[in-house]
Amino acid sequence: MTDDTSPTPAEGSAPTPAPTAAPKAPMAAKYTYGILILAFSFVLMPYLLWNATWFGKPLTDEQLTKALNDHEHARNIQHAFAQIEIRMEKGDPTVRQWYPQLVTLSHDPLAEIRLTDAWVMGQDPSNRDFRQALLALLADSNPMVQRNAALSLVRFRDATGRPQILSMLRPYALDAPIDGVLKVRLKPGDALNPGTMVGKIVAAADSRELRCEVPGTLHNWAVPDGTKVAKGDVLLYISPSPEMVWEALRALYIVGASEDGSSVAPYARGIEGMPPQIQQQATLTLNAIRGRNPVSN
């Protein structure tokens, strides 16, 4: 067959595949590299996120000192707190060099810093400065800071925070921050965490979001949606979370007084929605309180 009868380029002649096939290799390689990069990113990004949020990563003394002074990044301070707590638990004497900073940070304007600080200071009940700082935090504007301070004081065998601990067993009342009209967002039975938006107050000059301050479950609204309320009016009640109840019962096992028995008894009888270990701990706590305060004949 002569050259005149050879297939045309459109039919895929032998001389033409080389130039058309050549670009395919780089394209395939490009796609391969893209897939590899994408796959790597699926591994890298979660790692970077985990690494940025995980407080278990060890810090050198220099890094720890720097983190404690990083007031632009609260998470770095919290990371330092976590590492200090670990060193405390291990009995590392070098950790005392940061004790003055822990006391200073109990006055930090950020509630999350004071909250964690209150817990960390409870890890060394031999330090008098910690005890004084914790006593001051019982009057903090944030109820969760108050609670952590009260629980930490129990390690000092200090019962001053009993009122705050008992409040962890009772419904929490959320008040109106300003005058205005209530706009409800959530309903009874919804789970709540600190920071959860439950509604808002709408006013002519100002509107304010209503955010939960403690963990628990929305028990009931004290006023219906659309009600005109005044600053300080009770808007809703929050039933305590099992975690809060558990910590309160354990604390009262140590510092509970005879008059606290009435707050513990309902949990010893059993409350719907609470896990069985709550009832068990409540029974132990009630027996401990009665043992310390026997009824005289």
**Main-chain phi, psi angles of 228, to 5 degrees:** -80, 120
CB 126 within 8 A of CB 117: no
Residues 6+ apart with CB under 8 A from 121: 102, 103, 106, 127, 130, 133, 134, 152
Q: Which of 104-108, 151-155, 269-273 has the lowest mean pLDDT?
A: 269-273
Residue 205's pLDDT is what?
82
Q: pLDDT class for 270, splitting at 50, 70, 90? A: very high
Q: pLDDT class for 33, splitting at 50, 70, 90? A: low
Determine the average pLDDT of the residues in 86-110.
Answer: 95
More confident residue, 7 or 171: 171
Question: Is the C-alpha dihedral spanning 141, 142, 144, 148 positive or negative?
Answer: negative
Question: Amino acid identity, residue 183?
Answer: K
Strand partners, 210: 199
Burial (CB count <10 Å: 0-12, 13-18, 19+), residue 267: buried
Q: pLDDT class for 7, splitting at 50, 70, 90? A: very low
pLDDT of residue 104 exceeding 50: yes
More confident residue, 20 or 134: 134
Residue 239's pLDDT is what?
97
**Helix crossing, 143-154 with 242-255: angle to 10°?**
40
Q: How are the residues of the chain apportioned to helix, strand and coil, as percentages rounded to the nearest 5?
A: 55, 10, 35
**Helix crossing, 128-137 with 111-121: angle to 10°?**
140
pLDDT of residue 16 exceeding 80: no
More confident residue, 38 or 65: 65
pLDDT tens digit sequence for 156-198: 999 999 999 999 999 999 999 999 999 999 999 999 999 999 9
Q: Which of 26-40, 47-61, 160-174, 269-283 has the lowest mean pLDDT?
A: 26-40
pLDDT of residue 154 exceeding 50: yes
pLDDT of residue 34 exceeding 80: no
Determine the average pLDDT of the residues in 40-46.
Answer: 43
pLDDT cut 70: percent of the chain above it? 80
pLDDT of residue 206 exceeding 90: no
Which domains can be identified in the chain, with CATH numbers?
Answer: 33-160 (1.25.10.10), 172-240 (2.40.50.100), 242-297 (no CATH)
Question: How is residue 107 written in tokens?
Answer: 């006055």
Residue 58's pLDDT is what?
83
pLDDT of residue 21 exceeding 50: no
pLDDT of residue 250 exceeding 80: yes
Residue 18's pLDDT is what?
44
pLDDT cut 90: percent of the chain above it? 75
CA distances from 47 to 34, 39, 80 (A): 20, 13, 20
Residue 54's pLDDT is what?
52
More confident residue, 33 or 294: 294
Burial (CB count <10 Å: 0-12, 13-18, 19+), residue 55: middle
Q: How does the average pLDDT of the chain come out, rounded?
A: 85
Question: How is residue 7 written in tokens?
Answer: 């297939």
**Main-chain phi, psi angles of 237, to 5 degrees:** -120, 140
Q: pLDDT class for 28, splitting at 50, 70, 90? A: low
Determine the average pLDDT of the residues in 125-143.
Answer: 97
